[in-house]
Structure 1
Amino acid sequence: MSEDKPTTPYRGRLAPTPSGYLHEGHILTFRTAWERARENEGKLLFRMDDLDPNRCTAAYASACIEDMRGMGLDWDEGPDLGGASAPYEQSKRSSFYVDAMKKLYQLGLIYPCKKSRKDIRAHGLLDTTGNEYLYPESFRSSKTDIKNSEFPEMINWRFLTQAGKKVEFLDAKKAGQSFLVGKDLSDFLVWRKDGLVAYELATVVDDYLMGITEVVRGEDLLLSSARQCLL
């Protein structure tokens, strides 16, 4: 008896950041993503996550595509092939991120942040990993603290979290995952004062608009996945 196929067509993605050459971790992740898409008779998208102009270069982007082709990987949509979800370079998708920021603003889910990293470190609240400082609730400001002309550029914006809230999701390899707001994560950046969207927001916006049904990524991004679930 054949297994029932999912009603939603599978759509996976390859999303390298061209800030350097690919390493072994990239290769394992991308090959797994490719295998998952092909096993599920789905589509695989190639998206170039080139948000940061100071780190991402055309040379690294070209080398990335060449290396992935050399691995025997192929994709159905991407910057070199086009597709219904174009453009496939995040550097060309800023209008989508601004639209998302406007919606978050209207819902009261983001606020401007003028505190520095030094200010946050001085407060001394570390997350459960001991690697990142939590943003204190007492540092929160009102979205009315800025002028409309400043939105959203040239100022940090943070997503408003709820202390004590559990963020839970199912990981196909590591089973159920659970993170606690106020312990594992806190209010996080969605927009940077240099005028660039933060990784978490850009990823959520693009994965949603591109119809991605499964994300294959390294275990080091589990906490980031929790933030993306909140968004």
Structure 2
Amino acid sequence: MSILYRGRIAPTPTGYIHLGHARTFWIAQQRAVGGVLVLRNEDLDRQRCKPEFAAAMLEDLRWFGLDWQEGPDVGGPFAPYTQSERLPLYEDALRRLLAMGLAYACTCSRKDLARIAAPHAEDDDEPVYDNHCRPAELEPQDFAAGVNYRFRIPDGEVLQFTDGNLGSQRFIGGEDFGDFLIWRKDCLPSYQLACVVDDAAMQITEVVRGRDLLKSTARQILLQQALGLPTPAYFHTELVLDDHGERLAKRHDALALRTLRAQGISPQQLIDSFMK
């Protein structure tokens, strides 16, 4: 008996959905034909996420022609589908990692972290942490509020996976990425931890997202292994670039779906542009 395909789209309501998001989400929908597509509202950035952006996100994606079977607006068996409503699940995962001695407190400030070389613009990835706060020996510890926590990676371990679009991928712990943040002192999980917990809880079988998140996939596989969670398949898409060869960001208002819609451009015209 084949396993039902379960894909997801996971926008963050920190601005308006742009053409790059639309292309990735459209690919996700194509791959979910015959299965289930989940929409997850990743609204953990308290400063930048706005209710008006969340409402616009749903409206713009519906206009574009996306159709999800589970989400914050339609419900589903794994509700809630808004991350800010799922905080106890993330804290439980953190407590498990701490109890296993796989995470440690980090007191580095932004100023402290500025001493680490800037990430490469190619993937906009976080720099390799210099282990300033890593203890010589990790022991089980209790959760404490108001503390940053990092996941201790196995240095030198090779992480390999086959991407559904980009083929074989290989990363080395301690070289391509270092100990990464999994919990912030404002009592919120990092993207890495929240994503792993939710993908498992929502039984996602394939993650479709941009190629700039390849290293995040390596990190998340480590978390999945540590927490005893299944690893879904991955499909990383090429990025949509602007006229200067830079990847699109939410500052590209001219390429926001609602801007293009106001200009009279149809969803089909946008989809046709993806096919060129």
The range that moved more, 75-84 or 137-146, is 137-146
Contact map agreement 1:78 1:88 (CA 8 A) in 2: yes
Aligned match of 1:35: 30
TM-score, normalised with respect to structure 2: 0.74
1:136 shift after superposition = 2.3
The aligned counterpart of 1:161 is: 153
Q: Deviations over 1:27-67 (max 9, x none)?
A: 001101111101xx111111100111211111000100000
Q: Structure 1: state its 5+ residue gaps.
A: 1-5
User: What residue number does 1:226 align with?
Assistant: 218
Kindly report which structure 2 residues correspond to 1:128-167, keeping only aligned pairs within 5 A, or say none: 132-141=126-135, 148=142, 151-167=143-159
Alpha-carbon distance between aligned partners in 2 of 1:194 and 1:107, rounded to the nearest angstrom? 23
Contact 1:165 1:181 in 2 (8 A): yes
Matches of 2:23 and 2:39, distance apart in 1 = 16
- For 1:144 and 1:195, how far apart are their aligned partners in 2? 22
Give the structure 2 partner of residue 12 of structure 1. 7
Aligned to 2:188: 196
Find the aligned partners of 1:200 and 1:221 in 2 and give their Cα distance: 10
Equivalent residue, structure 2, for 1:76: 69
Give the Cα separation in 1 of the matches to 2:119 and 2:23: 29
Aligned to 2:53: 60
- 200-209 or 99-108, larger mean C-alpha shift: 99-108
Give the residue type in structure 2 aligned to 1:51.
Answer: L
Query: Structure 1, residues 169-217: CA drift from partner, whole Å, max 9, x if none?
Result: 1111110111111110010000011211100000000000000000000
Task: Indicate if the aligned counterparts of 1:50 and 1:89 stay in contact, CA closer than 8 A.
Answer: yes
The residue type equivalent to 1:66 in the other structure is E
Task: Say which SS state the counterpart of residue 135 (structure 1) adopts.
Answer: coil
Count of equivalent residues: 220
Question: 1:63/1:103 Cα in 2 relative to 1: closer, same or farther (>3 Å)?
Answer: same
Q: CA deviation at 1:225?
A: 1.1
Gaps of 5+ in 2: 224-276
Aligned to 1:171: 163
Structure 1, 129-138 or 80-89: larger mean CA deviation: 129-138
RMSD after superposition: 2.2
Give 1:145 shift: 11
Question: Does the 8 A contact of 1:127 with 1:184 survive in 2?
Answer: no
TM-score normalised to structure 1 length: 0.88
In structure 2, what is the Cα distance between the partners aligned to 1:96 and 1:132?
25
Residue in structure 1 matched with residue 78 of structure 2 by the alignment: 85
Partner secondary structure for residue 163 of structure 1: coil
Equivalent position of 1:26 in the other structure: 21
What SS is found at the alignment partner of 1:157?
Answer: strand
2:206 match: secondary structure: coil
Residue 12 to residue 152, structure 1, CA distance change in 2 (3 Å): farther
3-state SS of paired residue (1:97)? helix
Distance in 1, matches of 2:194 and 2:38, equals 16
1:228 is displaced (CA, Å) by: 0.7
1:137 Cα deviation from its structure 2 partner: 3.4
SS in 2 for 1:115: coil
Whether the 8 Å CA contact 2:101–2:139 is kept in 1: the answer is: no
Q: Are positions 1:49 and 2:13 aligned together? A: no
SS at match of 2:219: helix
Q: 1:212 aligns with which of 204, 217, 228?
A: 204
8 Å CA contact 1:127, 1:183 repeated in 2: no
**Is the 1:112–1:145 contact (alpha carbons within 8 Å) kept by the matching residues of 2?**
no
Alpha carbons 2:10, 2:42 under 8 Å: kept: yes
CA distance 1:52–1:131, change in 2 (3 Å): closer
Secondary structure, aligned partner of 1:29: helix
